[in-house]
Chain A
Amino acid sequence: MGESKNESGLLAFILPFLAVVPALYMLEWESHEASILIVAIPFMTFPVILIAGQIYNGTEYWKDKLKEGGILALGALGASLSASLWLVYDYVDSLPDFYDQQSITQWLEWVSFDILQSDYTLTSGTKILGMGVWIDSITLMILFVATFLCFLICWFSLGYMNTDPINEDRNHRFYGEFVLFALGMFGMVLADNFLWLFIFWEVMGLCSYLLIGFYYWKDSAAYASKKAFLTTRVGDVFLMIGLFILYDIYGSLEFSVIFHDPSLDGMVDSNKLFWALLMMFIGAVGKSAQFPLHVWLPDAMEGPTPVSALIHAATMVNAGLYLVARMVPFVDVGHHGVPGLEELGLIIAYVGGITAFMAAAIAFVQNDIKKVLAYSTMSQLAYIFTGLGSALWFYNNDEHHAAVVVFGSSMFHLFNHAMAKGMLFMASGSVIHEMHHAHDHIHHGHAEGHGHDFDPQDMRNMGGLASKMPVTATAMMFGSMSIIGIPLIGGFWSKEGIIAETWLAALEHEPLMMGPAILVLLTAGMTGFYMSRMWFMTFAGSPKSEVVNHVHEETPWIKTPLVILTIITALGGFAFALLGATDYLASAYDYSGHLKLKKSTLLESIIYKLEYAFLPDKMNLRIVGWVTIFLSFIVGPVFAARIHGGKLAEGESSTPLVSWLVSLSSKFGSQDVSNLSESELSVALQNRLYFDDLYEGILARTVIPFSEFTAWFDRKVIDGMVKQVESKSVLGSVQIRNLTTGSARDYILMATVGMLSIIALLWGINS
């Protein structure tokens, strides 16, 4: 089998790519000059992969040495990663002052034009919609996340995609589109204006479409890709409208112009701005799969698992968050913001709260490992939206401190979630991959069609994998912990802040905030349940199918990124929290922040941080914090353990890192919930609360009949009139030709009539 070979030699191919950035450094380039490479290298690589793949498909060299383009992709992403690390390194501690910041570099003058003003003269100086690079702490963070995860997931794909025979001769398409996606993501983060943000946003949408539909021959994949594209398209269109309004207000879409003074000295009509931002938020809702445009994300899991990991968990879906994060200067009344936009924060928080709760509920009943993760993604993104909503609300009410905390937490959660979720998906991919292989291995030699009933993604076929796949189990455990918010691990440091500050808003300022506050709190507990459920169903207990016994981890392509991300997930959250990541990320809209310890020594910082997390000053926050911990750490996992937990089969053992959890899970007794799973609520949840059916029903009853009606109208009425003219003319023609009877007598008669009428006309009219 190909995967058993030592293929580390192939990495030599990516060295030239990695050498690009150091070489430029030697040539005394500045990092901002090199920033264009982050986008340019993928841009030049993706057509090469696609076209070369099409031409050299099947040749030995292409397949074994270049991994059907995978190595090229990895190299390109490596180069982007190195360039972006350079950028991060240069700017991380020397961010320019936000409100007076200019784009650090201009790449492209896209279109330039004049505007006719209301005094009928042209604007002096040409307007430009160009592309430049904008740097602040959010940019740097997301850029790092994106380049890093793209690189790792591409690495993972080399093990995942290239070993599956179904993908043979198709992988160049995967890698090409993967790289194209990466360029979209990088470009979106770097863009210094809303238009180019949108442009790259759409490029990602395209790649999402292409990659979901990677298995284009599958009905479900083709359908899912279309659904994803169209649903996000709905949001995008509103985003476009938002941009139009924004352009109308500011005469520009560049951050440096808009953020300099978003209120234009108080001249901005807050109502108009509200609509602009609301429209943009609808775009974000579509992209980040929030209620009510959430329906595409679960279906998007039809794509290959690396795609789910990268696009639908770690990067693209964050674009919506990024966009909302960019709305802060508009509402930040402390800094030229426009007052009177509290409703926006409320709306965002509500959308987030509803989505968080709903997605978590649906995740309860999912048996497909990727679907669980998909709903989890949706739910976690919704958390961040709730946080951003509260942040906007605080900013708009000039509650600066609270705003900064919740904003920073949201951004930090974005980071934690991206890392954890990327890893979780890769881990699930590892499980699926090995299950699939094991299944193929068992049924080797059997008839082709036999294997089709088996679903390697169904958790009901798994169980007890902890002993077979220790690395994966460990990774998944830490990932789940981070998502759940187990104290001290990853997501805990960010999630607490979101929930606490939302409650703060609800309790002390705005009763309406109570809705989202309650919803996110409940969701915390639910997250504990479904994430634990997933882990227990997969790794704990005894094997539920024979396939499990043949599973074993093998390829280093898959293991390496898992290990790296496990470390980051497990320790990164705490580490960055200590470094003040929350403040740093919030500093984007405040002052030039620095990534440094809050206190002078490490120990003091740790104590400060722990105190801050567990024993905040305000009593009500303290209560909220502990309730959250209780729900997510105790209630959820324990219920999950009662239902799905259990010891491994006899004779099986796992690494100590996870075996404690397996054995712990068997301590809570067990509970049969089969009658519960048949309840109406459960059925409704399994049907995703009927949203898909509702949308489809509406479309089938309105759009399709209407389009058929217009087509009919065009054919029969508009074109029918033309045809009427034709047929009536033909009819008239036959009749008028019949007047030529052939008899000369009739001709003479007609001539006589003609004569009489001429005379009548001459004589009659003139006398």
Chain B
Amino acid sequence: MIDPSWIAGLGVILFGVGLIGVFTRNNAIVVLMCIEVMLNAANLNFVAGTMHYGDVNGWVFTAIAIAIAAAEVAIGLAIFLSLYSTQQTISLDDATTLRN
């Protein structure tokens, strides 16, 4: 069995990747994906915690977090769609009519 700390370590890496991704990438979809990655990092921690403490709550958390992520994707895509329909872009740097 893998030591939970490895799983958590993977989570840290994933979180880092996601975090760097969200502010380096310009495409809203990619950013959304990065957010998913970050959420998955959290999920890994929950899993690791469950393994470490033998507490099933972690799994429940993971499941619900996945649900949240799914909802987020659904809503996010819908919003991006509406952004695209008005501004013909989903590039974050281009959608800057609201500023200052």
Contact = CB atoms under 8 A, between A and B. Distances in A.
A763 to B, nearest CB: 15
Contact of B96 (A741, A749, A752): A741
B97 interface: yes
A741 B99 CA distance: 6
A740 interface: yes
Interface string A715-740: 00000000000000000000001101
A738 B100 CA distance: 5
Instruction: Name which of B19, B23, B93, B96 has the most chain A CB atoms within 10 A of its CB.
Output: B23
Contacts of B92: 743-745
A748 B99 contact: no
A752 B23 contact: yes
A200 to B, nearest CB: 70
Interface magnitude class on chain B: 10 to 19
B100 to A, nearest CB: 5
Contacts of B31: 744-745, 748
Nearest to A748: B23
Nearest to B20: A752
Interface in A22-58: none
Nearest to A734: B100
A756 to B, nearest CB: 10
Interface in B25-52: 25-26, 28, 31
Contacts, number: 35
A738 B96 CA distance: 12
A764 interface: no
B23 A742 contact: no
**Per DSSP, are chain B's interface residues mostly helix, strand or loop, or mixed?**
loop
Contacts of A743: 92-93, 95-96
B100 A740 contact: yes
B98 A742 contact: yes
Contacts of B93: 743, 745
A737 B100 contact: yes
A270 B100 CA distance: 77
A106 B92 CA distance: 92
Nearest to A736: B100
Interface in B1-36: 19, 22-26, 28, 31
Nearest to A739: B100
A735 to B, nearest CB: 11
A748 B100 contact: no
Contacts of A740: 99-100
Contacts of A752: 19, 22-23
Interface in A333-379: none
30 contacts: A738-B100, A740-B99, A740-B100, A741-B96, A741-B99, A742-B96, A742-B97, A742-B99, A743-B92, A743-B93, A743-B95, A743-B96, A744-B28, A744-B31, A744-B92, A745-B23, A745-B24, A745-B25, A745-B26, A745-B31, A745-B92, A745-B93, A746-B23, A748-B22, A748-B23, A748-B31, A749-B23, A752-B19, A752-B22, A752-B23
Please name the 5 residue pairs, one residue from A and one from B, whose CB atoms are nearest each other, closest first.
A742-B99, A742-B96, A748-B23, A749-B23, A744-B92
Given A745-B26, A745-B31, 9 more contacts: A738-B100, A742-B97, A743-B96, A744-B31, A745-B23, A745-B24, A745-B92, A748-B23, A752-B19
